[in-house]
Structure 1
Amino acid sequence: MGDQCVILVTGGTGLVGQAIKTIAEGEENRPNEQWYFASSKDGDLSVREDTEKLFAKVKPTHVIHLAAMVGGLFRNLKYNLDFYRINTLINDNVLNVSYKTGVKKVVSCLSTCIFPDKTTYPIDETMVHNGPPHDSNFGYSYSKRMIDVLNRAYNKQHGCQFTSVVPTNVYGAHDNFNLEDGHVLPGLIHKIYTAKKNNTPFTVWGTGSPRRQFIYSLDLARLMIWVLREYPEIDPIILSVGEEDEVSIKEAAEAVVEAMDFKGEVKYDTTKSDGQFKKTASNAKLRKYRPDFKFTPFKQAVKESCDWFVANYETARK
């Protein structure tokens, strides 16, 4: 990426897009790179004409594709067809218009939910298509999987440099802190903020025993910018902390308690389901390329995320 580059980030106002903006305009700033962070206001990417208009306006040489229809467990269960159709339209439009307009490289963001429901651990990049995903969100998962199929097909038929990344559980500033539809860490942060404010117990759903790999949004941003600039493969790459850095939900809750200086009662509602016990992913491929990459320590990143939520409570997504 030595020449002048125009980088379009679809879905650029969300958790990952805002983190990329922070890093690209800060520590990783390069004078030959011009970044454009698109939002839904720039058009509906499930509509071909809107996608073409956005590309005509921005004239990108490179694309980071984050835009997607997303939702929590309840919405996925209810609208599997919608999640499949709308995301498939978005992905087909973005990749096809990228090809038609001569975009040099596209990096799309997948999700660990694309992996087979019944699998062995740790998960790695070779296992994406080894069996059906979990039935609760099969629409979203299959649509995301098809990005990998499209990437390979565009490369084989047209020589396109289209690739993808698979992050584990992302958290940080600009997250979705909705208690019903958000993810684990932002949900815990919002719950404890409310418990502290109302002087009520902090209740964690389940036993706290399931284990997860969390990646701080700023670390993910640093790695995605590296993928855009340097990663040479079409095959996906998992972006995650190592297996040894997996933490239990209980440990995550304790980190939030410490970060928020919460002195009240902490309870575990064991009538609520724990969900999947673990989804351990291997970052061996990442470490082959980036053996010296340093992830932000978990407690530090949780503290920064909590501080951001407190400072931006009125405007945060919740």
Structure 2
Amino acid sequence: MSTVILVTGGSGLVGQAIKHVIENEPVGSRFGKKENETWIFASSSEGDLRDPAQTRKLFDKYKPTHVIHLAALVGGLFRNMKYKLTFFRENMVINDNVLHAAYETKAQKVISCLSTCVFPDKVEYPLDENKIHLGLPHDSNFGYAHSKRMVDIQNHAYKEEFGCNFTSAIPTNVFGPYDNYDLEDAHVIPALIHKCYLAKKNNTPFVVAGSGKPLRQFIYSRDLAKLFIWQLREYDDVEPVILSVGEDEEVSIKEVADAIVEAMDFKGNYTFDTSRADGQFRKPASNKKLLSLIGGFEFTPFKPALAESVKWFLDNYDTARTGIKKQ
């Protein structure tokens, strides 16, 4: 029986990481490609998932038996704060179209990618899978957060009404090759990598927005890719799973910036602009459920993963998503 796995958002950070793992792990291994598998990494150029007809056309074209749904309108803190309605509407439509096309074409399984921002702002830490709906998300990204939270509601409803095997993953902050480095739109690590690159190139100060004190759990995209592959093959419950390093692996934004300065060999002036917003101070998430299910799993340590990410950016600057028009 052949398996066709459609990855929406296949050209993005996590999609490219899954592609890397599938192409580089030994065939037949736990995270490598199986002999009966066909992997399709679809990008937005193949169909606008905000359009139900184009979404259905994509499903009819590839006839996926399994779907890893990564496609989303995403952005950093400041973009989320500015475009709350846009982030809510567009992601609601994308998710609804993908899940309904999967149901109509009888896909055997769908894993959708959520985010830790779905969790309530005021909640007891660490975050775990049972706390998603216990209060309102942080105001800074409530549009995006609510749209992603609704996927969990839809998964349960599709299971209850139609018996669909739809579930979701909740990664913490992801970074790695093929990230979005657009300074207006990027998450913290790719934004700082690009900023440090420009500061070094232009011999200007490297200024980090905020105090540098907030703490985050960062997961390397290629580690996350393996966890998605595990979830696709070995996890069949509707309840979501947090895919993350442990809560003892929190890293401060200052530690991130320090590691980027080191990896980039930046020798210039380096400061923090404390007049800029920090966002949430910390939002530690527990990976106990994941570890209880997957057994042994080795995460790539933060500094080597960050060094690999910086090297990829430097090697691929001309084609990376930087938001800068290149000659």
Same fold (TM over 0.5): yes
Displacement of 1:73 after TM fit? 3.2
Aligned to 2:148: 144
C-alpha distance in 1 between matches for 2:158 and 2:83: 29
Q: Which residue of 2 aligns with 1:6?
A: 4
Equivalent of 2:270 in 266, 269, 286: 266
1:299 aligns with 2:303: yes
Q: Is residue 94 from structure 1 mapped to residue 98 from structure 2 by the alignment? A: yes
| Superposed counterparts of 1:174-253, under 5 Å | 174-253=178-257
Q: Contact 2:140/2:279 (CA < 8 Å) preserved in 1? A: no
For residue 124 of structure 2, give the secondary structure of its aligned residue in structure 1: coil
Match of 2:161 among 153, 157, 161: 157
1:123 matched to which residue of 2?
Answer: 127
Shift of 1:57: 0.4
Question: Quick one: distance in 2 between partners of 1:77 and 1:307?
Answer: 31
Tell me the C-alpha RMSD between the 2 structures. Answer: 1.2
Letter in structure 1 aligned against 2:209: W
CA distance in 2, matches of 1:121, 1:141: 18
SS of equivalent to 1:170: strand
Runs of 4+ in 1 over 4 A off after TM superposition: none
Residue 37 in structure 1 maps to residue 41 in structure 2: yes
Deviation at 1:273, TM superposition (A): 2.4
Deviates more, 1:250-259 or 1:100-109: 250-259
> What is the DSSP-based 3-state SS (H/G/I as helix, E as strand, rest coil) of the residue aligned with 2:24?
coil
In the TM superposition, what is the alpha-carbon distance from 1:229 to its structure 2 partner? 0.6
* Percentage of identical aligned residues: 63
Deviations, residues 233-266 of structure 1 (Å, cap 9, x unaligned): 1100000100111111111111111111222232
Equivalent residue in structure 1 for 2:77, among 53, 73, 79 = 73
SS at match of 1:25: helix
- Give the TM-score normalised by the residue count of structure 1: 0.96
Aligned counterparts of 1:73 and 1:217: Cα–Cα separation in 2: 20
SS across alignment from 1:316:
coil
Shift of residue 93 of structure 1? 1.3
SS of the residue 1:29 aligns to: coil
1:171 paired residue number: 175
2:207 is paired with a residue whose SS is: strand
SS of 2:122 mapped into structure 1: coil
CA shift for structure 1 position 311:
0.6
CA distance in 2, matches of 1:70, 1:90: 12
Distance 2:139 2:115 in 1: 15
Note if 1:111 corresponds to 2:111: no
Of the three residues 36, 49, 56, the one matched with 2:60 is 56
Q: Which runs of 5+ in 1 are unaligned?
A: none
Could you tell me which amino acid in structure 2 is paired with residue 305 of structure 1?
S
Could you tell me how far apart the structure 2 residues matched to 1:160 and 1:117 are? 30
| Structure 2: 5+ residue stretches without partners | 26-31, 323-327
Find the aligned partners of 1:203 and 1:84 in 2 and give their Cα distance. 31
Using the TM superposition, give the Cα deviation of residue 40 of structure 1 relative to its aligned residue in structure 2, in angstroms: 1.0
CA displacement at 1:201 relative to structure 2: 2.3
**CA–CA separation in structure 2 for the residues paired with 1:312 and 1:266:** 24
